[in-house]
Amino acid sequence: MITPFAVFEPVRIGGVTVSRSTLHNWDEIERKDIRIGDTVIVERAGDVIPHVVAVIKDKRTGREKHVHPPVTCPVCGSAVEKDEGGVAFRCIGLNCTAQVQERIRHYASRAAMDIAGLGEKNVELLFSKGLIRHFEDIYRLKKEDLLELPRFAQKSAQNLIEAIEKSKTTTLARFLYALGIIHVGEYAARLLGRNFRDIEALYHVQPDRIVMIKQMGEKIADSVSRFFNDPGNLRTLATIKSEGVNISNPDYEIVSSEKRTLEGMTFVVTGTLPRSRKEVEELIERRGGHAAGSVSKSTNYLVVGDDPGSKLRKAQALGIKTISYDELVDMIKSEGRLF
């Protein structure tokens, strides 16, 4: 996240000398029409970081300069892009040192590469000790280095090294989610996995290729394309692969073997089923269907288990078809094992 701030002539407010304040984001700068060289009113309330309340426009000389949003990251030089909220700018550089902690925490999280032991506290510790400066450094951690840190003993150091090693065998969907590409959550990552054979097939991808995928819009297409056209990111990906990360893509195989029997249908699952809800939703998605979290007019089927909740009432009110778990299995008509 790239946050703009103002630097001004020191001024004393409430007994404290203040010479800089946050400007929050570029929308705020535009809204308040803040320019370089302006005279401003600064407020500081309690321990809150001081902020610019307004510009005194009468004091303008005509030499003030407009502030433009950044085009590249001031730290690593990669391109920047508006984030999910649409107001803040984020650097797309996978290897950017300014966001390495945040990126690694996400990369290691359970739904991503699932590396136990690389949570917030340990990432912070490894960063503060200089053991991780870049994203790819997690693959260069050594047990001896960990043992010198206060939070690690023989066993925990060994466990972390083993968890990293184990995580090297992964799927394309997980890996894509782990990369933290703006707008790419778990579901979008799975869709990309279905449509691209391997990670290399995404290198230098153009937005129009991604927009062709049903359920993918322009925003996500631009973001994915920009990520995979960044030379620094492609270098980092090559490094990660050379460290032994092995990415299979079972989602793509399903497409090619014509098993997408639920293509284009939206399901909602409710109540207690013979399998966990997550497993049933994964089954639906593997067969090309979409598993939604709540009932709406676009729901095709409600899969009902024991003790269904308010979703059943809502589905009945909307006239949505309800089916049992067994009926769902029949719909799939799989010749092999389902799970």
Cβ 76 to Zn ion shortest distance, Å? 3
How far is the C-alpha of 251 from the C-alpha of 199, rounded, in Å? 13
Determine which residue in the list 36, 41, 54, 75 makes contact with Zn ion, applying CB under 5 A.
75
How far is the C-alpha of 161 from the C-alpha of 29, rounded, in Å? 46
Whose Cβ is closer to Zn ion: residue 75's or residue 153's?
75
Give the other-Cβ count within 10 Å of 236's Cβ. Answer: 19
Cβ 188 to Zn ion shortest distance, Å? 22
How far is the C-alpha of 252 from the C-alpha of 195, rounded, in Å? 6
220 in contact with Zn ion (CB under 5 A): no
Q: Which stretch binds Zn ion (CB under 5 A): 83-91, 116-124, 170-178, 230-238?
A: 83-91
Determine which residue in the list 2, 34, 40, 76 makes contact with Zn ion, applying CB under 5 A.
76
In the numeric block, the tokens 């979703």 are attached to 311
Cβ 72 to Zn ion shortest distance, Å? 8
Q: Which stretch binds Zn ion (CB under 5 A): 54-62, 75-83, 236-244, 302-310?
A: 75-83
Cβ 73 to Zn ion shortest distance, Å? 3
Whose Cβ is closer to Zn ion: residue 95's or residue 249's?
95
Determine which residue in the list 50, 93, 117, 289 makes contact with Zn ion, applying CB under 5 A.
93
Helix and strand tally (H, E) in the chain?
14, 12
First to last CA, the chain: 41
Give exposure, 170-185, as e/b (b: 16+ Cβ within 10 Å). bbbbbbbbbbbbbbbe
Q: Which stretch binds Zn ion (CB under 5 A): 25-33, 77-85, 129-137, 234-242?
A: 77-85
Extended strands (E) in 172-245 = none
Binding to Zn ion (CB under 5 A) within 45-74 occurs at 73
291 in contact with Zn ion (CB under 5 A): no
Cβ 141 to Zn ion shortest distance, Å? 22
How far is the C-alpha of 284 from the C-alpha of 32, rounded, in Å? 49
Contact 300, 321 (CB under 8 A): yes
96 in contact with Zn ion (CB under 5 A): yes
Whose Cβ is closer to Zn ion: residue 97's or residue 248's?
97
Residue by residue, DSSP assigns 104-152 as HHHHHSTTTT--TT-SHHHHHHHHHTTS-SSGGGGGG--HHHHHTSTT-
92 in contact with Zn ion (CB under 5 A): no
Whose Cβ is closer to Zn ion: residue 70's or residue 305's?
70
H/E stretch holding 307: none
Cβ 75 to Zn ion shortest distance, Å? 5
Whose Cβ is closer to Zn ion: residue 76's or residue 160's?
76
Q: Where does this chain bind Zn ion (CB under 5 A)?
A: 73, 75-76, 78, 91, 93, 96
